[in-house]
């Protein structure tokens, strides 16, 4: 082959390779778009008004709504428990706030906990497959298709917000499942701020459930939008965040 | 060239071993493609049948990435029609029983798909209030 013809063929091949993305873009299945009613935020956040929550002791409405909606299994063995949203003793949620003089009943006060959707999430940093990642709107999302079950994220999360499926979750579903996909044995799951509901214009299931019983302890919205209810609460209150010294910048805020 | 016989015999044995699975399949009545259940609702799929037959796995992979990774829940088909991206909510509205459609064909083709380990196999009725665009993946 002559040098000239070699260069010609090489050049044409390069041009062809450059055109490949264009051809691929025309293949069916490439055109997708957000739903017409989808809620869009720049920085989703939640405020937990723990005072309102405390006013209704023993209430499980938000937890049940979440776990029902997402087919979170009710595993009996506490070591294999799976949970997205639950209550924890105050002294474990805010250990740095505990003084030796805090009354025992305050220490044991049930406090709502869930994924904090951090600005700098350690779980995302350690995930080897990018099965968990931070969306541009601040939600720390899970792609169960990609999770290989290594559990680095569970170790990385300083809030214990993640659960591993040690057994087939379909064996312990809560009644008739909704059409939200279950998970399988061997993957990690957690709260996603209900991305599937935001995509169709609905607030997270826990927030809706809490509002429906007129408690309104959970407020969800765009912290970057000055007009949102969440922004008003963020500005007007002395808010607590979990383990702020770690620098993860949680975006679940507490009014204690 | 004194070993023609041995060479031919060797070739025959080789061909037999390599094509063995085909003969086994034919012998066990798996020669013809399986009879698949006809879709119940609607007369056409999101894309023409030949495309679906050849590329449904790629389309589904893109659907997965669109919904999970980018939060995009609407698929614009080649003909401009818009569909809600949902395996359980959209595909299964017509292909009501995966066992008689998806799973049956994959078994015939020797392909292991694990969609149903997580995605619900049960047909879901989309309520009028939420329209065709609501629902979950």
What residue segments make up the domains of chain A, in order of their start? 1-31, 44-255
Q: What is the pLDDT of residue A23?
A: 61
Write the CA distances from A174 to A70, A171, A182, integer angstroms: 10, 10, 11
Write the CA distances from A88 to A113, A200, B30, B56, B112, integer angstroms: 7, 31, 57, 45, 42
Give the mean pLDDT of A15-41. Answer: 78
**Domain boundaries along the sequence of chain B:** 42-137
Rounded Cα–Cα distance for residues B88 and B86 (Å): 6
For residue range B101-116, list pLDDT tens digits in order.
999 999 988 899 999 9
Share of chain A above pLDDT 70, in %: 96
CB A195 within 8 Å of CB A205:
no
The CATH architecture to which A44-255 belongs is: 2-Layer Sandwich (3.30)
Give the mean pLDDT of A5-18. Answer: 85
Q: What is the mean pLDDT of chain B?
A: 86
CB A17 within 8 Å of CB A201:
no
- Residue A142, C-beta contacts closer than 8 angstroms, at least 6 positions apart: A131, A132, A188, A189, A190, A192
Give chain B positions within 8 Å (CB) of A27: 55, 58
Give chain A positions within 8 Å (CB) of B59: 28-29
Q: What is the pLDDT of residue B127?
A: 44
A227 touches chain B (CB under 8 A): no
CB A255 within 8 Å of CB A48:
yes
Interchain pair B75, A38: CB under 8 A:
no
Pairs across A and B, CB distance < 8 A: 91
For residue range B25-74, list pLDDT tens digits in order.
788 876 788 889 999 887 889 999 999 999 999 999 999 999 999 999 99
Place of tokens 């405020």: A47
Q: Which of B59, B71, B118 sits opposite A182 (nearest CB)?
A: B118
B7 touches chain A (CB under 8 A): no
Place of tokens 């000239």: A4
B94 touches chain A (CB under 8 A): no
Q: What is the pLDDT of residue A217?
A: 98
For residue range A32-64, list pLDDT tens digits in order.
999 999 999 999 999 999 999 999 999 999 999
Dihedral angle, C-alpha B16, B19, B23, B29, nearest 10 °: 170
For residue range A85-138, list pLDDT tens digits in order.
999 999 999 999 999 999 999 999 999 999 999 999 999 999 999 999 999 999
Q: How many other CB atoms are there within 10 angstroms of residue A182's CB atom? A: 21
Q: Which of B58, B74, B130 sits opposite A32 (nearest CB)?
A: B74
What are B112's two structure tokens?
């292991």
Q: Which of A145, A179, A198 sits opposite B89 (nearest CB)?
A: A179
Distance from CA of residue A14 to its chain's centroid?
43
Dihedral angle, C-alpha A126, A128, A129, A134, nearest 10 °: 20
Q: What is the pLDDT of residue A25?
A: 57
């Amino acid at each position: 082959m002559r040098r000239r013809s070699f260069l010609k063929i090489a050049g044409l091949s390069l041009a062809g390779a450059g055109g490949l993305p264009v051809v691929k873009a025309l293949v069916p299945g490439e055109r997708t778009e957000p739903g017409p009613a989808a809620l869009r935020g720049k920085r989703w956040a939640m405020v937990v008004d723990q005072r309102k929550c405390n006013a209704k002791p023993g209430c499980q409405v938000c937890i049940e709504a979440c776990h029902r909606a997402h087919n979170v299994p009710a595993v009996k063995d506490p070591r294999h428990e799976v949970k997205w949203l639950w209550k924890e003793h105050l002294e474990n949620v805010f250990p740095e706030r505990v003084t030796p003089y805090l009354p025992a009943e305050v220490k044991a006060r049930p406090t709502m906990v869930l994924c904090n959707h951090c600005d700098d999430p350690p779980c995302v940093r350690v995930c080897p497959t990018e099965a968990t990642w931070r969306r541009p709107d601040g939600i720390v999302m899970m792609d169960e298709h990609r999770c290989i079950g290594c559990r680095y994220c569970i170790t990385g999360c300083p809030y214990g917000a993640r659960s591993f499926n040690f057994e087939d979750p379909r064996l312990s579903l809560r009644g008739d499942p909704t059409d939200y996909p279950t998970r399988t044995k061997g993957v990690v799951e957690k709260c996603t701020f209900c991305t599937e509901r935001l995509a169709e214009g609905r607030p997270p299931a826990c927030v809706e459930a809490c509002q429906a019983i007129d408690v309104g302890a959970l407020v969800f919205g765009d912290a970057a939008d000055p007009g949102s209810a969440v922004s008003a609460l963020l500005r007007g209150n002395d808010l607590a965040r979990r383990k702020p010294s770690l620098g993860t910048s949680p975006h679940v805020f507490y009014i204690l | 060239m004194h070993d023609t016989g041995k060479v031919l015999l060797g070739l025959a044995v080789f061909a037999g071993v390599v094509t063995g699975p085909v003969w086994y399949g034919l012998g066990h009545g798996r020669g013809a493609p399986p009879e698949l259940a006809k879709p119940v609702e609607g007369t056409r799929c999101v894309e023409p049948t030949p495309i679906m037959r050849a590329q449904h796995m790629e389309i589904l992979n893109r659907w997965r990435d669109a919904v999970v990774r980018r939060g995009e829940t609407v698929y614009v088909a080649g003909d401009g029609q818009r569909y809600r991206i949902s395996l359980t909510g959209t595909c299964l509205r017509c292909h009501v029983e995966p066992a008689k459609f998806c799973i049956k064909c994959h078994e015939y083709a020797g392909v292991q798909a694990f969609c149903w380990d997580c995605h619900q196999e049960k047909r879901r009725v989309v309520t009028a209030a939420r329209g065709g665009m609501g629902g979950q993946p």
